[in-house]
Amino acid sequence: MKAFFEAIQYLFVDILFAPLDFIRSLELSSWFAANTINWIFMIICVAAMVYWIKQLKLHKDNNEDNQDTTAHSFFK
């Protein structure tokens, strides 16, 4: 049973967390390189937000959205 838990420890510590150890050591030399993943996620979120707002404007310009409070039966 002890070997099973040691195998789990080896999997997580030595294999799955290895990229995080690399990023942690990279931060000492270049902050921007270490935070590249964060920058990529921020760019994706901004692109998704711009797309979403553009779609909302498109539906609003076509009068496809119903902003009446009685649009749903539970608002009556």
pLDDT digits (tens, 9 = 90+) for 2-56: 999 999 999 999 999 998 899 888 888 988 888 988 999 999 999 999 999 999 9
Predicted pLDDT at 7? 96
Name the burial class of residue 1, with classes exposed (0-12), middle (13-18) and buried (19+) by CB atoms within 10 angstroms of its CB.
exposed
**Does residue 76 sit within a domain?**
no
- Can you tell me the distance from the alpha carbon of 46 to that of 55, in angstroms, rounded to the nearest whole number? 14
**pLDDT > 70? residue 76:** no
Q: What is the value of pTM for the model shown?
A: 0.58
Q: Is 24 a domain residue?
A: yes
Predicted confidence band of residue 65 (pLDDT cuts 50, 70, 90): confident
Name the H helices within 1-76: 2-10, 18-27, 31-34, 36-61
Show the domain range for 9: 2-64
Q: How many domains does the chain have?
A: 1
Residue 74 is assigned to a structural domain of this protein: no
